[in-house]
Each structure stands twice: as structure tokens, then as C-alpha cells.
Amino acid sequence: MQAPQQDPQSAGSAAPFVISRTFDAPRDLVWKAFIEPERLDRWWGPKGFPVATSKMDLRPGGTYHYAMSVPGGGLMWGKFVYREIVAPERIVFINGFSDETGGTTRHPMIPEWPLEVLSVFTFTEHGGRTTFTLHWTPINATAEECAMFDSAQDGMTAGWSGTLEQLEAHLAEA
């Protein structure tokens, strides 16, 4: 498995964020939870921010454009732009916030957040169990954005842990 590399365009440098979780599910099922929008929409996002609407075009250059319902009302939009899809082993994409039309926007609550984060998702199977690993690295980021990313590592761990708990529950239902 090759490690993701930071794009050289970044003005700053940030420590990659890495988190893994092993699921008691075959890789094919875990893979489908990421590539089938009707499955992804059931568990994606932080706890309390369910996907309200989405559209997926799963191919290099394609997108997953979605809106999450925000507690208290409103929507928060996000977008993946797929770079590489190697079934059922790896998905590489640029992750960021967006507007309703799919344009790139700043994080609605943290304006210093990087506009683009390189996301590398890997899936490995061992004895019918699947380990999902996420590598996140800011790209095309300023020094200030990289510093924000570095300072947010604990919060990302908490957020991703909740998201992966939702995935685990989804897989148990499947």
C-alpha cells in the first residue's frame, strides 16, 4: 500500500491525519458503503449532521456533492472530487466544503480550514474483517491553514470516531 503524498503546491506543511478502524464485515460490504450513495447517505458525516441530499458521479473527475442537515436548521454542503478509484482497495479524492451549486467554499464555521484536503481511503481484508484507513492531508494550503489543520487533530479524531461508529452501525444492519 503506498502512502499518500502531500501535493507540492502547499505553502505550509501539516502533519497528516490518519485514523483506522477494523469492522467485522467483509471488504466488499464496507466498499459498497462508500461507493453506493444510498448506503453512504445513511452514515456519512459527523453525528447529528445527517445527509439531507446528495448526488454521486463515481469516476475519476466525478464528484459526490452532498448537504448535511445542521442541528437547529439549515444545510452545510460538501464535495468530493474523485481522483482515483481502485475497487475494492482505495479511493482518492479532494474533499472540501461547497455551496449548493458545487462551488468550493470556506468551512462555514472555521474560515482558516484548508479549502482542499487530499483524502486517501484504503480497505484491507483479513479473515472476513475489514480495516478502513483514512489519510487526510491539506493541499494547496497556506501556512495558516496548515496550522489550523494541525491544531484540529484531536477534534478530527473525535469527529471521525463518531462517523466510523455510524458506519459500524450501518454495516451491522446490512
What pLDDT tens digit does each residue of the chain (174 aa) get? 444 444 444 557 899 999 999 999 999 999 999 999 999 999 999 999 999 999 999 999 999 999 999 999 999 999 999 999 999 999 999 999 999 999 999 999 999 999 999 999 999 999 999 999 999 999 999 999 999 999 999 999 999 999 999 999 999 998
DSSP 8-state class, residue 6 = -
Please give the Cα distance from 37 to 35 (Å, whole number). 6
Whether 30 and 20 have beta carbons less than 8 Å apart is answered as no
CA-to-CA dists, residue 97 to 2, 13, 150, angstroms: 27, 20, 18
CA-to-CA dists, residue 6 to 61, 108, 120, 137, angstroms: 19, 24, 11, 6
Residues listed for the chain: 174
Q: Which residues pair with 80 in a beta bridge?
A: 64, 95
Angle at 62 between CA 59 and CA 68, to 5 degrees: 115
Phi, psi of 164 (to 5 degrees): -70, -30
Class of domain 17-173: alpha beta
What one-letter code names the amino acid at 38? E
